[in-house]
């Protein structure tokens, strides 16, 4: 039976699905969000936090484009911190603990109020394909939702299997069923499906922890918001706490490695190298006597606490002993035991740069189904998939962000050009132009793009233009005002200039009534002007290759003088541009030269 006709159906209500549904509906697409339960939309199934190193930049970019995540964490965060504060602005990243219950409720309410968006509770079992393009989605209860665009944001639910010691059971996450039929459907449709693993630590009852034995970690004062729409955050912040593992815990884990699924052979797939389980840590770093553990409240009242740093899948009795041996948690009660989960994913090399699959028109993939980890990476993909699905329906070119424009552009490019052998996580080191991709300038980089796309509303645009005008006034004043032969702008570039600190007190500056956000952005711009100039020249060279588009119909097997390995790699990846081709493993500068010569003949 047909349950409704839509332009776009989003399958999965996690962080990718929420952003995809928001974007698609905001851009005028009649959108359905299919989720097993509306109560689990935007659920924080692992760490109750948003942001972090490089991830904070992604959240700012999502916000600048008109997405939800930045506003959601500002409304529900319980502790805000800027990481790497002692280092340069290129690697500083905002991070916030969230009340995970308030967070998902905030996102759900925003989606429920979104015009053109229908939330449907159910489980998708089949992507309906007709003549090589999607026609809709079928649910377990027989309902069929017709649509010309389908976005799969299935997280860890595709053939998910949970592991805790020798126990294993099917599920997408704790106490939620796996989606096996949909995984089988993707295989039937000809998509390559692989297997990855991730895990989560135990949660403790907050009132059973001895906080007097822990190191206290407070948030920043004043807290810095994520969203460019948030003027300030006035709510009281709650502390996090730090404890450590010890030699007794390490010996306990060594004695029980044979019972750990990662080492017993029960788990065959690969987990995230940069977020290893505690048993992997004690094997990989056998010389370390302790590892840091962050005890992070999951809600404002601190009823449950997340044990960040001891993700594991060892049996429950070993987990109990480990908690008993750790300072401050000796008498703590475990509310949820840690577990690992294996799940199916589709290598993203099967996607176009728009996140549409190459094999099936109108089918988009976003989030962990593409081999990524993290709420932020998922949300960014969901936002772009939602935008591009509607743009295709409107016969518009896809929104493509370059590596020089956004961390989102770096991530998509990496996914399309690199073979994924572990869950992909964003780092500042992945971005060649990270000095240009700072968290403070995400609005300058992307809000005009969001406005052109249609996601940035009038309120955000007016605020952006006001900030841009204020920055221009201050920039002009700093360059025009001189003391002892130097402009204030030049003095800001000299770190030890004693006169560089007094300019804020000048009556003309005070009369501008500038926000700290504007002042900080201009100071960074002034200090790094020389570096930015050099990076701009590098970006220009980079764009020259990225602007050379490769035709989708190009037959690499027929390109004369192209190496066999290059033909195979290029045929498999189908890169968007010559620059992207050069970032595929195994492609050499000589291969790019051959392609350039061939393209001249192609267009000649």
Q: Set out the domains of the chain in order of their start, with CATH numbers.
A: 2-199+343-452 (3.50.50.60), 203-341 (2.40.30.260), 457-533 (no CATH), 548-603 (1.10.150.570)
User: Which residue's entry shows tokens 């962990």?
Assistant: 368
Whether pTM > 0.75 for this model: the answer is: yes
Separation of alpha carbons 208 and 149, rounded Å:
49
Q: State the virtual CA torsion across 280, 283, 284, 286 in degrees, nearest 10.
A: 140
Angle at 520 (CA atoms; ends 514, 521), nearest 5 degrees: 95
Low-confidence ranges of the chain (pLDDT < 70): 1-3, 499, 602-604
Alpha helices in 207-361 (DSSP H): 247-255, 261-264, 278-284, 316-324
Tokens of 19: 């952003």
The single-letter DSSP state of residue 331 is T
Residue 73 CA: distances (Å) to CA of 12, 68, 110, 227, 485: 20, 9, 13, 8, 46
3-class DSSP state of 366: coil
The single-letter DSSP state of residue 52 is -
The single-letter DSSP state of residue 551 is P
The single-letter DSSP state of residue 85 is T
- In 3D space, the residue among 321, 277, 314, 355 whose CA is nearest the CA of residue 46 turns out to be 277
- In 3D space, the residue among 297, 372, 410, 456 whose CA is nearest the CA of residue 57 turns out to be 410
User: Which residue's entry shows tokens 């606490």?
Assistant: 305
- In 3D space, the residue among 311, 328, 147, 356 whose CA is nearest the CA of residue 243 turns out to be 328
Let me know: does 55 contact 377? Beta carbons within 8 Å: yes
Let me know: does 452 contact 64? Beta carbons within 8 Å: no
Q: Residue 128 phi/psi, 5° resolution?
A: -80, 125
Angle at 415 (CA atoms; ends 153, 225), nearest 5 degrees: 65
User: Which residue's entry shows tokens 């089949």?
Assistant: 126
Given this model, what pLDDT does residue 603 score? 61
pLDDT tens digits along 496-514: 777 677 888 889 999 999 9
Given this model, what pLDDT does residue 247 score? 97
**Do the strands 363-365 and 149-152 form a parallel or antiparallel pair, or are they unpaired?**
parallel
User: Which residue's entry shows tokens 């003549």?
Assistant: 131
Cis peptide before 222 (omega within 30 of 0): yes
Q: How many CB atoms lie within 10 A of CB 326?
A: 23
What angle do the packed helices 529-546 and 516-527 form, to 10 degrees? Answer: 80
Given this model, what pLDDT does residue 1 score? 54
> 198-232 b/e with 16+ CB inside 10 Å = b?
bbbbbbbebeebeeeebbeeebeeebbbbbbbbee
Q: Residue 433 phi/psi, 5° resolution?
A: -115, 40
Given this model, what pLDDT does residue 541 score? 72
Tokens of 499: 């006169």
3-class DSSP state of 562: coil
- In 3D space, the residue among 604, 563, 556, 558 whose CA is nearest the CA of residue 578 turns out to be 556
């Amino acid at each position: 039976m047909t349950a409704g006709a839509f332009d776009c159906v989003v399958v999965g209500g996690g962080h990718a699905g929420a952003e995809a549904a928001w974007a698609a509906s905001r851009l005028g697409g009649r959108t359905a969000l299919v989720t097993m339960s509306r109560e689990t939309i935007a659920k924080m199934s692992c760490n109750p936090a948003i942001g972090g190193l490089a991830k904070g930049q992604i959240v700012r970019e999502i916000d600048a484009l008109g997405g939800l995540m930045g506003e959601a964490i500002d409304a529900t965060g319980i502790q805000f911190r800027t990481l790497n504060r002692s280092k340069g602005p290129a690697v500083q990243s905002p991070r916030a603990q969230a009340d995970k219950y308030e967070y998902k409720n905030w996102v759900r309410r925003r989606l429920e109020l979104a015009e053109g968006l229908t939330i449907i509770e159910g489980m998708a079992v089949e992507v309906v394909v007709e003549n090589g393009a999607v026609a809709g989605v079928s649910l377990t209860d027989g309902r069929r939702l017709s649509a010309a665009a389908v976005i799969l944001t299935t997280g860890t639910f595709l053939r998910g299997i949970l592991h805790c010691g020798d126990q294993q059971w099917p599920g997408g996450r704790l106490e939620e069923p796996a989606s096996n039929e949909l995984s089988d459907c993707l295989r039937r449709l000809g998509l390559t499906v692989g297997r990855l693993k991730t895990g989560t630590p135990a949660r403790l009852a907050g009132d059973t922890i001895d906080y007097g034995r822990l190191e206290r970690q407070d948030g920043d004062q004043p807290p810095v918001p994520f969203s460019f729409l948030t003027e300030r955050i006035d709510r009281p912040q709650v502390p996090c706490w730090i404890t450590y593992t010890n030699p007794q815990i390490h010996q306990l884990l060594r004695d029980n490695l044979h019972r750990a699924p990662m080492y017993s052979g029960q788990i065959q797939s690969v987990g995230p190298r940069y977020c290893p389980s505690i048993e992997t840590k004690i094997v990989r770093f056998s010389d370390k006597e302790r590892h840091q553990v962050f005890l992070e409240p999951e809600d404002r009242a601190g009823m449950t606490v997340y044990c960040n740093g001891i993700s594991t899948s060892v049996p429950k009795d070993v987990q109990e002993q480990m908690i008993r041996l750790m300072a401050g948690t000796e008498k703590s009660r475990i509310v949820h035991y840690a577990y690992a989960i294996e799940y199916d994913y589709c290598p993203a090399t099967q996607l176009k740069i728009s996140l549409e699959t190459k094999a099936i028109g109108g089918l988009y993939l976003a989030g962990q189904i593409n081999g990524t980890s993290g709420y932020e990476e998922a949300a960014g993909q969901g936002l772009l998939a939602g935008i591009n699905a509607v743009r295709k329906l409107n016969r518009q070119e896809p929104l493509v962000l370059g590596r020089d424009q956004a961390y989102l552009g770096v991530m998509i490019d990496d996914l399309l050009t690199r073979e994924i052998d572990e869950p992909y996580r964003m780092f500042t080191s992945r971005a060649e132009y990270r000095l240009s991709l700072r968290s403070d300038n995400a609005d300058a980089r992307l809000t005009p793009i969001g406005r052109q796309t249609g996601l940035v509303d009038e309120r955000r645009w007016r605020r952006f233009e006001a900030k841009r005008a204020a920055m221009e006034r201050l920039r002009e004043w700093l360059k025009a005002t001189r003391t002892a032969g130097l402009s204030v702008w030049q003095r800001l570039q000299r770190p030890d200039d004693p006169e560089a600190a007094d300019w804020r007190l000048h009556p003309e500056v005070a009369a501008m009534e500038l926000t700290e956000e504007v002042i900080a952005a201009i100071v960074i711009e002034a200090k790094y002007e020389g570096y930015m100039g050099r990076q701009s020249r590098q970006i220009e060279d980079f764009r020259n290759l990225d602007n050379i588009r490769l035709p989708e119909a190009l037959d690499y097997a027929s390109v004369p003088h192209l190496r066999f390995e290059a033909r195979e790699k290029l045929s498999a990846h189908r890169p968007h541009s010559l620059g992207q081709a050069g970032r595929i493993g195994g492609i050499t500068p000589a291969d790019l030269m051959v392609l350039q010569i061939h393209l001249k003949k192609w267009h000649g």
